[in-house]
Amino acid sequence: MKSNSTLLVAAVFPFAMLTSGFLNAADPNVPPNIVWIIPDDMSAEFSCYGETAIETPNVDSLAAAGVKFTNAYVTAPVCSTCRSAFITGMYQTSIGAHHHRSGRGTEKIELPDDVAMVPKLFQEAGYHTSITGWPMNGKLGKTDYNFQWDKSIYDSNDWGDRKPGQPFFAQIQTQGGKLRGKDARGWEKIATAAEKELGSRTPISAVELPPYYPNHPDIVRDWAAYLDSVRMTDAMVGEVVARLESEGVRDNTLILFMTDHGISHARGKQFLYDEGLHVPLVIAGPGIAAGTGREDLVEHIDIAALSLAAAGIPIPANMQARDILAAEYQPRSAVFAARDRCDETVEHIRSVRTEDFKYIRNFLPNRPYLQPCAYKDAKQILIALRQWHAAGKLNATQELLFRETRPPEELYDLKSDPHEIDNLADDPAFAEQLKSLRARLDQWMETTGDQGRQPESAAMYDSDMAVYLDSVQRRGNAEYLQALQKNIALMKRWAAEGK
């Protein structure tokens, strides 16, 4: 005869009793808790991913206890589009959420009727849902979705509010790379915090920059501060795990660690090179074999499907995410990404990446690589790059960012050129590879209903810019406001010129 608790689970979680996706090997009648830890603006600079300048014992421990994916990629290299995608398990381009911070003004974006948000699906299955920052401050954590949504999909900001015995789906959204700020003030703040909490700051001498960034003192110092933000994020992961252990729920909790895109830098965030797309993905919990490594290509939206499956909740038939933990899972042979408007800066780029090659299509080739963007241009690292460019202090590789136009297509051999510097699109030796990936990207855009194939309406752009301008004006930043107004006018002029 079943116990009362088992009968309760069967009543509240009917799907959980029927699915083979249940991960709780210890007791298949008890639904596992699901915890997502997602920092902002951070690439895979963790010890378990090969970073040697710093130590990250907590993320390393999580990887040792579960599975580490070495080839996980976001489908969008900026916060809101990335988050709109993983919270629905859909490509942001398929649901009209591909422009960063869109639908914020009088013009709104509605999700398609057949697309459900993951927290809602958990709620309907009887889970307590929460989203918070860390440390918890009584408020909901970062959402940043580009469509209309109902805040009731989150029960609270703390899984501790759940009913006795109720399983929980909790998201912990943290500042990550944003902890370092944009200039020397922010760099010193995070370094001081690291000294206080971890006993040291990352020394400048430990920094090794990618070859496309110069050893400008500000860029080196910023990277050291970024590494301190990684260390502080790692410490936060340890605190979350410690809380789960203290509450006696760690063994029945699937913990997922992933970032929302790569480091915020000139060639990282907002770009489709690996610096902007490659993220860490570590999963540990019931049913996950310890010390497992996965090298197959996965997309960040897949966390939606695998989490639902872990809880025994059916994955919607139209969800584009895949349960990458399923026994019958067939690995992806390619991953896709899209960059569209970010803040005021109009853009349209698509990419497809296989294990060996990256193909990028620039739909606006007559614009410069580093288009004006008030947000990025205010960062000291961009100011430093522009200073050394003007002074002629950059080498040929570092000057690539300052081209006034760009090739319509880019092709990189990732095995011989992991930093994506040598564009092979015009090399006859790679003509067949170029043709194949070009067709593959075309097919993806067609079959997934890429809404970016049509330009954003003037009404939506103006609606969002009105909100953006108002927010800057209320902060009293006259210089930023002036730059933003100038950029908006430039974007409209370039569009009118067909540029």
211-225 pLDDT, tens digit per residue, is 999 999 999 999 999
Q: Provide CB contacts within 8 A for 155, sequence distance 6+.
A: 123, 128, 129, 130, 161, 162
Identify the sign of the CA torsion 383, 388, 391, 395: negative
**Amino acid 11: pLDDT:** 37
- Look at residue 149 and tell me if it is in a domain: yes
Assess whether pLDDT exceeds 90 at residue 23: no
**pLDDT confidence tier of residue 12, bands split at 50, 70 and 90:** very low
Strand partners, 359: 352, 411
- Look at residue 100 and tell me if it is in a domain: yes
Q: How far apart are CA 187 and CA 378, in angstroms?
A: 15
Q: What are the CA-CA distances from residue 481 to residues 341, 358, 374, 486, 496 (Å)? A: 18, 37, 8, 9, 23
Q: How far apart are CA 107 and CA 91, in angstroms?
A: 21
Residues written for the chain: 499
- Candidates 359, 369, 367; CA nearest to 425 is 359
- Look at residue 28 and tell me if it is in a domain: yes
- Look at residue 460 and tell me if it is in a domain: no
How many independent structural domains does the chain possess? 1
Strand segments, DSSP code E, in 164-309 are 168-174, 253-258, 278-284, 292-294, 298-299
Token pair 């290509």 is found at 297
Q: How far apart are CA 94 and CA 97, in angstroms?
A: 8
456-471 pLDDT, tens digit per residue, is 999 999 999 999 999 9
CATH number of the domain that residue 229 is part of = 3.40.720.10
Phi, psi of 281 (to 5 degrees): -145, 110
Helices 458-475 and 478-496 pack at an angle, to 10 degrees, of 170
Rounded average pLDDT over 338-366: 98
Q: How far apart are CA 168 and CA 83, in angstroms?
A: 20
Assess whether pLDDT exceeds 90 at residue 230: yes
Which residue range forms the structural domain that includes residue 234? 4-338
Q: How far apart are CA 248 and CA 245, in angstroms?
A: 5
Q: How far apart are CA 309 and CA 297, in angstroms?
A: 19
- Look at residue 398 and tell me if it is in a domain: no
**Amino acid 6: pLDDT:** 33
Distance of CA 1 to the CA centre of its chain: 47
In the chain, the percentage of residues whose pLDDT exceeds 70 is 94
DSSP code, position 425 = T
**pLDDT confidence tier of residue 378, bands split at 50, 70 and 90:** very high
- Look at residue 229 and tell me if it is in a domain: yes
pLDDT averaged over every residue in the chain: 94
Assess whether pLDDT exceeds 80 at residue 18: no
Amino acid at 352: V
Q: Count Cβ neighbours within 10 Å for each residue of 313-344 and write b for 16 or more, e otherwise.
A: bebbeebbbbbbbeeebeebebbbbbbbbbbb
Q: How far apart are CA 297 and CA 275, in angstroms?
A: 16
**Amino acid 27: pLDDT:** 65
Specify the pTM.
0.94
Rounded average pLDDT over 405-432: 98
- Look at residue 329 and tell me if it is in a domain: yes
Range with the poorest average pLDDT among 27-36, 188-197, 464-473: 27-36
Assess whether pLDDT exceeds 90 at residue 188: yes
- Look at residue 24 and tell me if it is in a domain: yes
